[in-house]
Amino acid sequence: MSIKSVAAKLFALKIYKKTQAWANNPVETQNKVLQQLIKEAKGTEFGIDHHFHTIKSSADFAVKVPIRDYEELKPYVDKVVKGEENILWKGKPLYFAKTSGTTSGAKYIPLTKESMPFHIEAARNAILHYIHETGKADFIDGKMIFLQGSPILEEKYGIKLGRLSGIVAHFVPKYLQKNRMPSWETNCIEDWETKVNAIVEETFNENMTVISGIPSWVQMYFEKLQQKGGKPVGEIFKNFNLFIYGGVNYEPYRAKFENLIGRKVDSIELFPASEGFFAYQDSQKEKGMLLLLNAGIFYEFIKSDEFYAEKPRRYTIGEVELGVNYVLIISTNAGLWGYNIGDTVQFTSLKPYRVIVSGRIKHYISAFGEHVIGKEVESALQEAIIGTNIRINEFTVAPQITPTEGLPYHEWFIEFENEPEDSATFAEAIDNAMRKQNVYYDDLIVGHVLRKVVITKVAKNGFQDYMKSIGKLGGQNKIPRLSNDRSIVDLLNKK
């Protein structure tokens, strides 16, 4: 065992104890975070507009600060982007994380000197918790790769901006820089396919021990490695034993990954976003990710089925329940207040508070009142492939409201690596799993409002071609698991 791995174990124990201190006092921790946020921002334009000097509790906060999404917060953000100070947070932000997907084009999410360290520490602490629980630390002597966006940053009114993963690349600790791959030059390649090819060439003969990224794009990297080497990734990288991922549920990819790797490897799930680093998997034995209550973020939760009510109730951490689908609302030390990031979560544990990401509040199917969410379609697919040789590359689901004949249905667009021997039986298995999870969907099937699911096969690389056609191949971009219209699948059908 190297000196570095021994030191890592000692550091892991220290971080574990610090985590336990706030995790065992969740309500008090969150109250302190809120009070600190209010104190720091009461002199800002937003703080003055919303009477922060009168806020003494979370109940006061809920009265004074309405729920907003990016579009509703944009008048304040625009001022920050133009270089004005003390608007959402004191001073100016260090960076803007630039993302896409809103009706008005690019989003500019501020990152401040107070918020930035938590993005770095959370990723580090996830690995340290793994080391503490498993005792495995030898991997830190090998090479690590983080598939991410380009670290080349632009500048707007004196503030640097880029993709979050590219910004984070500037904060890699010195003790990891010698181990980290790819090279800076390769990481700066903008075209995703060119970049992945370069990464394959650069890493092929290295001692890779940790690989990290969004599963769909790591899959592309693994496939290219296998093509080059003519053998499983686990034989190319004999010491590769830890996969770190975020952004999407890994379970639909797990069988394909194990086939590409040739064996099982440990994995750590992360829940990062430009708006904050919210949670990470702190245990290999427990379901869910530890919600980070001491990371400069005050959390509120709204039940998904109440979200569009005129005045939905906002729950704080001490009021949440297991298994309920909540819209995640955040207020942060980057100046986001009562902010709806669009993600929904469910709690798997209340001691400590652990969550799973259940979907997106805007990514659902309810064309007939069925209220289907991302977690349900992922779970149904996973249940349907258990005990089979079926492997899935990618999938999405959309309603077919006006079929040329017969009843409407949910259409599952699936790119198979290994196809089912009997598509009808596979579709039946998915449908049964959906009906067990969602009573509304079951009622629609029983009542002959919907017929059972229909599977449409997508050609090899069809999803990659679709993402490329809309300019979102690689990086942090991902396919929505489901949508309430056919805008995605209509384009997919043209590929």
pLDDT tens column, 453-472: 999 999 998 888 888 888 77
Rg (CA), the chain: 23
d(CA 392, CA 381): 9
Q: Which of 253-262, 364-373, 389-398 has the lowest mean pLDDT?
A: 364-373
pLDDT tens column, 319-353: 999 989 999 999 999 999 999 998 899 999 999 99
pLDDT tens column, 133-149: 999 999 999 999 987 77
Q: Does the structure show a pLDDT above 50 at 102?
A: no
Q: Does the structure show a pLDDT above 60 at 101?
A: no
Instruction: Please report which confidence band the pLDDT of residue 219 belongs to, taking 50, 70 and 90 as the band edges.
Output: confident
The residue-averaged pLDDT of 17-22 equals 97
Task: Say if residues 358 and 375 touch (Cβ distance below 8 Å).
Answer: yes
Strands 409-418 and 454-457: parallel
Dihedral sign (CA 425, 427, 433, 435): negative
Tell the residue number behind the tokens 């940790």, with chain if given.
Answer: 210
Cα 244–Cα 246–Cα 251 angle in degrees, nearest 5: 85
Give pLDDT, residue 105. Answer: 63
Residues in a beta bridge with 400: 409
d(CA 77, CA 104): 13
What are 376's two structure tokens? 């349900």
Instruction: Please report which confidence band the pLDDT of residue 494 belongs to, taking 50, 70 and 90 as the band edges.
Output: low
472 against 175, higher pLDDT: 472
Q: How far is CA 382 from the centre of its chain?
A: 19
Residues in a beta bridge with 290: 280, 354
Residue 42 is given by DSSP the state T
Give pLDDT, residue 475. Answer: 64
Tell me how far apart the 2 most distant CA atoms of the chain are, in Å.
Answer: 69
Q: Residue 419, SS3? A: coil
Give pLDDT, residue 103. Answer: 45
152 against 47, higher pLDDT: 47
d(CA 335, CA 327): 19
Instruction: Please report which confidence band the pLDDT of residue 121 belongs to, taking 50, 70 and 90 as the band edges.
Output: very high
Residues in a beta bridge with 111: 95
Instruction: Please report which confidence band the pLDDT of residue 372 belongs to, taking 50, 70 and 90 as the band edges.
Output: confident
Start-end of H helices in 242-366: 251-261
Confidence (pTM): 0.81
d(CA 234, CA 239): 8
Q: Residue 282, SS3? A: coil
